[in-house]
Amino acid sequence: MSDNPSELARFSEKVVALERDVRQMRARVIQLEKERTEYLQNVSHQLVAPLNAIKWHIENLTEGRLSVDRAKKVLRSVYSQATIAVHLAKNFNLMSNLEGEHALKALKEPLQEVQLFRLLVNLADDFQPLAWDQQIQIGVERQNFETTPPVLAMKPLISQVFSNIIENAVKYSKSNTEIVISGRRESNNTISVEIRNQGIPLAASQIASVFERGFRSEEAKRKYPAGTGFGLYIARRIVEIHEGTISAFNDPPWVVFKVNLSIKGLQGKTRFRA
Render 43-74 in DSSP notation, one character per residue: HHHHHHHHHHHHHHHHHHHHHT-S-HHHHHHH
- What track of x and - describes contact with Mg ion for positions 179 through 218 (by CB under 5 A)? ----------------------------------------
Q: Which stretch binds ligand ATP (CB under 6 A): 24-32, 36-44, 65-73, 163-171?
A: 163-171
The residue (of 202 and 266) whose beta carbon lies closer to ligand ATP is: 202
CB atoms within 10 A of CB 146: 13
- What track of x and - describes contact with Mg ion for positions 109 through 148 (by CB under 5 A)? ----------------------------------------
Q: Is there binding between residue 198 and ligand ATP (CB under 6 A)?
A: no
The residue (of 231 and 244) whose beta carbon lies closer to Mg ion is: 231
Residue 217 binding target from ligand ATP, Mg ion, none, CB below 5 to 8 Å by type: ligand ATP
What backbone phi and psi angles, to 5 degrees, belong to 159?
A: -65, -35
Contacts of 66 (CB under 8 A, 6+ apart): 60, 74
The residue (of 183 and 231) whose beta carbon lies closer to Mg ion is: 231
Binding footprint of ligand ATP, residue count (CB under 6 A): 22
Largest CA distance in the chain: 93
**Binding to Mg ion (CB under 5 A): which residues in 227-266?**
231
Q: Is there binding between residue 259 and ligand ATP (CB under 6 A)?
A: no
Nearest to 183 by CA among 139, 129, 226: 139
User: Where in 130-273 does DSSP place strands (E)?
Assistant: 137-140, 151-153, 178-187, 190-197, 245-251, 254-262
CB 243 within 8 A of CB 263: no
Contacts of 19 (CB under 8 A, 6+ apart): none
Residue 140 binding target from Mg ion, ligand ATP, none, CB below 5 to 8 Å by type: none
CB 169 within 8 A of CB 197: yes
- What track of x and - describes contact with ligand ATP for positions 40 through 59 (by CB under 6 A)? -----x--------------
3-state secondary structure of 253: coil
Q: Is there binding between residue 170 and ligand ATP (CB under 6 A)?
A: no
State the minimum distance, in angstroms, from the CB of residue 213 to Mg ion: 12
Residues contributing to the site for ligand ATP (CB under 6 A): 45, 164, 168-169, 172, 197, 199-200, 202, 210, 215-217, 220, 227-233, 255
